[in-house]
Amino acid sequence: MHRLPFTDNYTLRPNEVDVEHLLRLSSLADMFQNSAWRSADVLGFGFHDLTSQGLAWVLSRMQITLDSYPDWGETVQLDTWPKRTDRLFALRDFELYSQSDKSEPVVRASSAWLLIDLKTRRPRRLESLESAMPSLDRDAIEATPVKLSCPDSMPLHNVVQVRRSNLDMNYHTNNAAYIAWIEDCIPMEMYQHRRIHELTVNFVGESFIGDQLTIEYQLDQNHMNGRICNQKKQDVVLFSAGLSTRT
């Protein structure tokens, strides 16, 4: 029996909130990843199940809508469920609820995952898994997260070197690290007065320990585009983000 949605409770810790005591987006991405893996595990399609078949889930795209930000010490409920597939994507949705009011989620998200063959590093078709994989016919966000088109050139913000603490168990840079780098681009004055309301991210390529990454972004009133590339291969985008803010 696999009851869906899968539910986890999180009580927000000091390291999961920002200077304003509110949930960081990178911490939200960590929570999504933790619950997604725990849910997949319960359903029989988790990390260990897939690794033993030479396969891995790799997060490709995600769209997040945030109506409010939970606070330090607050307990939130995170629901997640696999829904349908769309071409090579397995879609998984998330809803985050404040403990004090469960009538509406404060955060909604949809994510698109590829099933990667660890030997060839290429995506596999999902037909074989699809029939066996339980899912829920329910949308946190209906549309499949889009492919972003960034402006051709954007101002360089920073160059960072991938450190071991940015890596995950696949030995490549973790998705939350890219989100933290982009979150850090937002100027402090804007960060303190406006909050990210919608965020779409595309994880396009891998980076590894020691790689030098360029972080570029462009602000246009309430909208920001960001891009992270490998400094040695500037034509290859590893990560892109589009976000809008509101007061």
Which residue in 30, 93, 95, 211 binds a second copy (CB under 8 A)?
A: 30
Q: How far is the CB of 152 from a second copy (least distance, A)?
A: 26
Nearer to a second copy, 81 or 178 (CB): 178
What SS3 class is residue 92?
strand
What SS3 class is residue 49?
helix
Cβ-Cβ contacts under 8 Å for 195 (sequence gap 6 or more): 22, 66, 69, 245, 246, 247
Which residue in 53, 149, 158, 234 binds a second copy (CB under 8 A)?
A: 158
Nearer to a second copy, 14 or 127 (CB): 14
Q: Is 77 in the site for a second copy (CB under 8 A)?
A: no
Q: How far is the CB of 180 from a second copy (least distance, A)?
A: 5
Q: Is 39 in the site for a second copy (CB under 8 A)?
A: no
Q: How far is the CB of 13 from a second copy (least distance, A)?
A: 4
Strands of the chain, DSSP E: 6-11, 55-66, 75-86, 89-98, 107-117, 156-161, 195-203, 212-220, 223-230, 233-246
Q: Is 167 in the site for a second copy (CB under 8 A)?
A: yes
Exposed e or buried b per residue across 55-77, where buried means at least 16 C-beta atoms within 10 angstroms of its C-beta: bbbbbbbbbbbbebbbebebebb
Tokens of 27: 């911490």
Nearer to a second copy, 15 or 120 (CB): 15
Nearer to a second copy, 1 or 19 (CB): 19
Q: Is 37 in the site for a second copy (CB under 8 A)?
A: yes
What SS3 class is residue 128?
helix
For residues 72 and 62, give the distance between their C-alpha atoms in angstroms, rounded to a whole number.
24
Which residue in 191, 204, 219, 244 binds a second copy (CB under 8 A)?
A: 191
Question: For the chain, what percentages of helix, strand and coil (3-state, to nearest 5) are there?
Answer: 20, 45, 40
DSSP for 197-208, written as a single string:
EEEEEEE-----
Q: Is 49 in the site for a second copy (CB under 8 A)?
A: no
Binding mask 199-238 for a second copy (x = CB under 8 A): ----------x-----------------------------
Binding mask 113-152 for a second copy (x = CB under 8 A): ----------------------------------------
- Angle of helix 25-42 relative to helix 175-183, nearest 10 degrees? 160
Nearer to a second copy, 55 or 167 (CB): 167
State the Cα angle at 22 between 155 and 18, rounded to 5°.
Answer: 55
Q: List contacts with a second copy (CB under 8 A).
A: 13-15, 17-19, 21, 24, 26, 30, 33-34, 37, 72, 158, 161, 163-165, 167-169, 171, 174, 176, 180, 183-184, 186, 188, 191, 209
